Structure 1
Amino acid sequence: MNAFHDVRFPLAISFGATGGPERRNEIVQLVSGREKRNARQALARRHYDAGTGLRSLDDVHEVLAFFEARRGSLHGFRFRDPFDMKSCRPSETPTEHDQTIGTGDGVTERFALVKTYGEGQEAVRRPITHPVADAVLVAVDGVLKETSLDYAVDGETGELVFQPGAVPAVGAVVTAGFVFDVPVRFDIERLSVSLSAFRAGQIPSIPLVEILA
């Protein structure tokens, strides 16, 4: 049975990877010459190539071992996107005020982490399901909360779970800052690496694709 392995792809290699979000849109040109455009999926799906992060034969060996342990594309895993891994800009340090997560109603205990891109009605709210638990900061109405005492991070869903007595009151704004990983799988069934080619600078392709919930 396929599953998600809560392990992270080697960081040193991921920071040399290439890739980013992909949008799937349908564009139809009408007889008038105008275009009709429709989004085929609500959220972007991220694709990466980890091959560009390989720097040595030891790196190749590490990826081969990781590939085998995941049974190729069968099991998912965590991947640190070198371009988008924080609730803030890459050059900044996350704070508890970075992202608005929701508004309390005095009853709701669970709040899903999101990262917002853009502003107003055109903004996109991306679900963050694999935060780094010990790097999550939370505030309610601007007041920093304490992990364990006030809330916990659900290891399965990535949601914030407020403890009894700390549930956000009606109208209270919940904000958060975090570092996160992207759930991915190998988008390939076979790794093919030639020693002579690698030594000559020909990097193999190791495609990864985001697993959407």
Structure 2
Amino acid sequence: MAFHDVRFPDAISRGARGGPERRTQIVELASGAEERNASWANSRRRYDVAYGIRRADDLAAVVAFFEARNGRLCGFRFKDWADFKSCLPSQAPGPADQPIGTGNGSATQFQLAKRYSSGAQSWTRAITRPVAGTVTVALNGAPQSSGWSASTTTGLVTFATAPAAGVVLTAGFEFDVPVRFDTDALDITLDLERLGSITSIPLVEIRA
């Protein structure tokens, strides 16, 4: 599947609406009790960026971006302003933010990830599109300035030398969401002042 390594305009994405979506099957029994099963192991994010359009120039930028991606054909990066870094929104990312693995003496690659926890439960999200220049790494809490690299297209952290067995690896980073347009048509409205609007511009997360 084609993916363009470009980011949707930040000035427009800042006003977007959306967030994570889960899919759950619920069967109501004769007793009134329910049986619930998760159809998806992982959540999928959906957004509508029409709310971020405030000027005619914004409209033109969206149309150009849509045409360059061939509608739904090609994926791209999107900054989710509500969830775009490894730490809390009020904090700056640091190398101890998120656990990404434990060394075994032979593995050299580890996937960036973000853990979402509440009470005793947690869910770990693989991060595949970190922002270039934002990734930091620590081994047993000690920041590492060299000896590793991070791919901005897979989220894999590769070490020149495999971390020793039992060494805890952590990382901090900013990241984008890989998405595509969820429509092949833009319904544009022009008023008498030649100012434009679009009713809805849906985006959906992809596995890329």
TM-score of the pair, normalised by structure 1: 0.93
Secondary structure of 1:123's partner? strand
- The alpha carbon displacement at 1:155 in A equals 3.6
Q: Flag as ranges the 4+ runs of structure 1 deviating above 3 A.
A: 197-203
Unmatched tracts of structure 1, length 5 or more: none
- The alpha carbon displacement at 1:133 in A equals 2.5
Q: What letter is aligned with 1:156?
A: T
Change (3 A) 1:181 1:192: same
Instruction: Write the mapping of 1:66-81 to structure 2, written as runs, cut at 5 A.
Output: 66-81=65-80
Q: Which residue in 2 is equivalent to 1:169?
A: 164
Q: Are 1:195 and 2:183 an aligned pair?
A: no
Q: Which residue in 2 is equivalent to 1:108?
A: 107
Q: Which residue in 1 is equivalent to 2:131?
A: 132
Which stretch shows the higher mean deviation, 198-207 or 87-96?
198-207
Q: What letter is aligned with 2:111?
A: A
CA RMSD of aligned residues (A): 1.8
CA distance in 2, matches of 1:201, 1:120: 46
Whether the 8 Å contact between 1:101 and 1:111 is mirrored in structure 2 is yes
Identity of aligned residues (%): 54
Q: Which residue in 1 is equivalent to 2:175?
A: 180
Whether the 8 Å contact between 2:139 and 2:167 is mirrored in structure 1 is yes
Change (3 A) 1:198 1:192: farther
Counting matched residue pairs gives 208
Q: Are 1:150 and 2:147 an aligned pair?
A: yes
TM-score of the pair, normalised by structure 2: 0.95
Q: Which residue in 1 is equivalent to 2:34?
A: 35
Change (3 A) 1:198 1:83: farther
Q: Are 1:207 and 2:202 an aligned pair?
A: yes
Change (3 A) 1:198 1:93: farther
Q: Are 1:19 and 2:14 an aligned pair?
A: no
- The alpha carbon displacement at 1:196 in A equals 1.3
Whether the 8 Å contact between 2:59 and 2:196 is mirrored in structure 1 is no
Deviations 1:10-51 (A, max 9, x none): 011001100000010000000111000000000110000000
Unmatched tracts of structure 2, length 5 or more: none
Deviations 1:121-176 (A, max 9, x none): 62100000000131001000111111xx3111124311101113xx2111000000
CA distance in 2, matches of 1:129, 1:200: 37
Whether the 8 Å contact between 1:86 and 1:178 is mirrored in structure 2 is yes
